[in-house]
Structure 1
Amino acid sequence: MLNKLILTLILLTCGQLLKSQNVITNIGDAKRGDFRVMFYNVENLFDPFDDTLRLDNEFLPKGERHWTWEKYKKKSQQISKVIMAAGSWDFPDLIGLCEIENRFVLDGIFKFGYLKQIGYKIIHRDSPDHRGIDVALIYQPERFRPIDTTFLQVHYAVGRALSTREILYVKGIAPTKDTLHIFVNHWPSRWGGQLESEHKRISAAKVLHQSVDSILKVNSNALVIVMGDFNDYPDNESIRKVLGALPAKQDYLNDRLYNLAYSYLNKSDIGSHKYHGKWGMLDQFMVSGSLLNKASYLYCEPSGMSIFAPDFLLEKDKTYYGVKPFRTFAGYKYQGGFSDHLPVLLDLWRK
């Protein structure tokens, strides 16, 4: 109740921006569930300070992007606005984030933005990624109680550690007393070509599959939620074959993963990311069949995933027509936007 009151006051204070930009969540079912999970690739949230152990020179005051304290602070405020709006007159209960540099920038989202009174808690650690970008899970402590956390490292087939992000696993208790198994992912990019880099994402898929499988073998009714930017699409080999995530159609098996992003596959008018004029679903939610079979107090529908695409997160696509995500930079030109990805949401309901 207190959080809702705070959010109402915040929206009334800064709501002119949201109202004038026609905030919508009706890509899919806009109605908020009893428990909302959000995932957002915030695109290069760096601080303006030099980390000699990471390749962050691009995001320094004298770097290629002339990244200053003022630009960093605005970026933090922008992300805060997105989280606030995505709550739909409440706050998301769980938030997975990726492309954040360190704990300092995570804290900044709540220090410089509109969320500093909400009391979100953070699960994060620095990853071995050569650029220093990490994943994190943000949660409301009165809505989710972590009881176990593991950072899963990705390795090459020969056993050599990849210089990439870890997969974050968090086990915790929801308000219904159900145990949730949460995985936050940011798989290796397609830099250098989709086929040339595919083996890296297959390696990440094997690590994730092993961990999910170990949970479901112990408890076939376990409630598993996998979220992230996978840098692959739902029908690519890493997700479809290696991870074994199926389309969410019917006759769900409790101990299998189902990819709720399949319904957005090959849509021409919307996705979570747009590349060379084509929308795609790199950002996805997958759930175990037990959540779809309503085997617990918390459950989700096959249509429970949505793309959060309010007008203020979009701009005109002058090259390929239509709209595209409103980014912080257009090339190397600073324009003060948000990210090259749109957030995705997952709504769970209670019986």
Structure 2
Amino acid sequence: MKRIVPLMIGLLFCVNFTFAQTVIDGSEEGKRGDFRLMFYNVENLFDCFDDSLTLDNEFLPMGERNWTWEKYQKKSQKIAKVILAAGGWEFPDLIGLCEVENRFVLDGLFKIGYLNNTGYQIIHRESPDRRGIDVALIYQPETFHPIDTSFLPLIYEGDSISTTREILYVKGKTNTDDTLHVFVNHWPSRWGGQLESEEKRIGAAKLVKKKVSEVFEVHANALVVIMGDFNDYPDNRSLQIELNALAPKNEFCTNKLYNLAYPYLNKTGIGSHKYQAKWGMLDQFIVSGALLNKSGVLYCDPENMSLFKPDFLLETDRTYFGQKPFRSFVGYKFNDGFSDHLPIILDLWRK
């Protein structure tokens, strides 16, 4: 039996809180699938302690961001609020997170904080990222049982070691006896320019493609879900050509990949992230055709990816007009918000 969100937990976040699913594709509010996946770039969820092995000095009490224990706790509570709201009256079954500093901040969310009674388990390890930010997969053991876990190191051409966050691969069984192959990604940023940094994301795409190909070699009907902040759009080379994630159409090949974020591409005012005046979908779900062809008990349709954007995750954009994500920082100024990204959700349905 799935865990239901306790009423008392909801009351802890009663200010501007709603369980209603707000999506940009016009889906009916409150409607959710039988198995819900969520991905969220939580924008620098750092603790306030110095890690001598990473470049985290700006997130210290005396650092550039004046990052205190009080600010860290407020940030952690806000992320918990988002997870609770995004689940509706049941928790998300799988949650992919990126921009988390370490296991301490994850335990602060799921083992000590407001989510400590939710039963979530954590898959994470420290990555070689110079800033110390990692990816993680959080799962409900009642609905997902990990069988195999790999952390795939991304080594740039010309380097001998990895210096960035790894790609997390988890193979697991669902409570419907389906096997899901889940990838959690946070590809290299566009820092320095989109074209100048493109080869790094192409390297990430090739790494994921190699592992996906290995999965398909064993099982051509594999149910694959690739989630993440790709720092590229669905029609960029890394995703469209190197990963070969196609736009979903009417017919699907079981061992090909389809990017469910394509319908959101280049739509005015729609996206998971806003850069200056332009919204864009950097955060995406990519699935194998087997999920769209209903090869297992669990399946999805091309429109089953949604963007979670309740009012409390947005604020007025006084520079470029409209709204923008209510982020934690604007430059180095503490904004007391949630994240510079909006969460995305994928609902799987049971036949």
Judge same fold: TM > 0.5, yes or no. yes
Change (3 A) 1:286 1:2: closer
Contact kept? 1:150, 1:170, Cα under 8 Å: yes
Corresponding residue for residue 109 of structure 2? 109
**Residue of 8, 25, 46 corresponding to 2:22:** 25
Distance 1:173 1:207 in 2: 24
**Deviation for aligned residue 1:205:** 0.5
Corresponding residue for residue 317 of structure 1? 317
Distance 1:13 1:72 in 2: 18
**Deviation for aligned residue 1:249:** 1.1
Corresponding residue for residue 212 of structure 1? 212
Residue by residue, what CA displacement relative to the aligned partner does 1:26-54 show, whole Å, maximum 9, x if unpaired? Answer: 32234200000000000001000000110
Contact kept? 1:81, 1:113, Cα under 8 Å: no
Question: 152-161 or 185-194: which moved more?
Answer: 152-161
Contact kept? 1:156, 1:203, Cα under 8 Å: yes
Aligned counterparts, 1:28-39, within 5 A: 28=25, 29=27, 30=29, 31-39=31-39
Corresponding residue for residue 84 of structure 1? 84
Corresponding residue for residue 239 of structure 2? 239
Contact kept? 2:316, 2:322, Cα under 8 Å: yes
**Deviation for aligned residue 1:202:** 0.4
Contact kept? 1:39, 1:228, Cα under 8 Å: yes
AA in 2 matched with 1:254? T
User: What secondary structure does 2:170 align onto?
Assistant: strand
**Deviation for aligned residue 1:112:** 5.2
User: What secondary structure does 2:190 align onto?
Assistant: coil
**Deviation for aligned residue 1:2:** 7.1
Distance 2:300 2:258 in 1: 11
Contact kept? 1:96, 1:228, Cα under 8 Å: yes
AA in 1 matched with 2:294? K
Aligned identity (percent) is: 66
AA in 2 matched with 1:196? E
Residue by residue, what CA displacement relative to the aligned partner does 1:254-288 show, whole Å, maximum 9, x if unpaired? Answer: 00000000011011112000001100000000000
Contact kept? 1:120, 1:139, Cα under 8 Å: yes
Residue by residue, what CA displacement relative to the aligned partner does 1:272-321 show, whole Å, maximum 9, x if unpaired? Answer: 00001100000000000000001110000100100000000000000000
Aligned counterparts, 1:166-177, within 5 A: 166-177=166-177
How large is the RMSD of aligned CA atoms in angstroms?
Answer: 1.4
AA in 2 matched with 1:300? C
User: What secondary structure does 1:250 align onto?
Assistant: coil
Aligned counterparts, 1:139-154, within 5 A: 139-154=139-154
Distance 2:35 2:7 in 1: 19
Corresponding residue for residue 7 of structure 1? 6
Distance 1:193 1:7 in 2: 45
Contact kept? 1:23, 1:311, Cα under 8 Å: no
Contact kept? 1:23, 1:312, Cα under 8 Å: no
Corresponding residue for residue 50 of structure 1? 50
Distance 1:177 1:82 in 2: 29
Residue by residue, what CA displacement relative to the aligned partner does 1:203-245 show, whole Å, maximum 9, x if unpaired? Answer: 0000000000110121110000000000000000000000000
Residue by residue, what CA displacement relative to the aligned partner does 1:65-118 show, whole Å, maximum 9, x if unpaired? Answer: 000000001111000000000001110000000000000001111245421111
Contact kept? 1:7, 1:84, Cα under 8 Å: no
Distance 1:287 1:279 in 2: 23
Distance 1:345 1:313 in 2: 15
User: What secondary structure does 1:209 align onto?
Assistant: helix
Question: Is residue 266 of structure 2 the alignment partner of residue 260 of structure 1?
Answer: no
Contact kept? 2:2, 2:143, Cα under 8 Å: no
AA in 1 matched with 2:191? W
User: What secondary structure does 1:110 align onto?
Assistant: helix
TM-score, reference length from structure 2: 0.96
Give the structure with the larger helix fraction: 1
TM-score, reference length from structure 1: 0.96
Contact kept? 2:182, 2:225, Cα under 8 Å: yes
* Structure 2: runs of 5+ lacking an equivalent: none
Contact kept? 2:306, 2:345, Cα under 8 Å: yes
User: What secondary structure does 2:261 align onto?
Assistant: helix
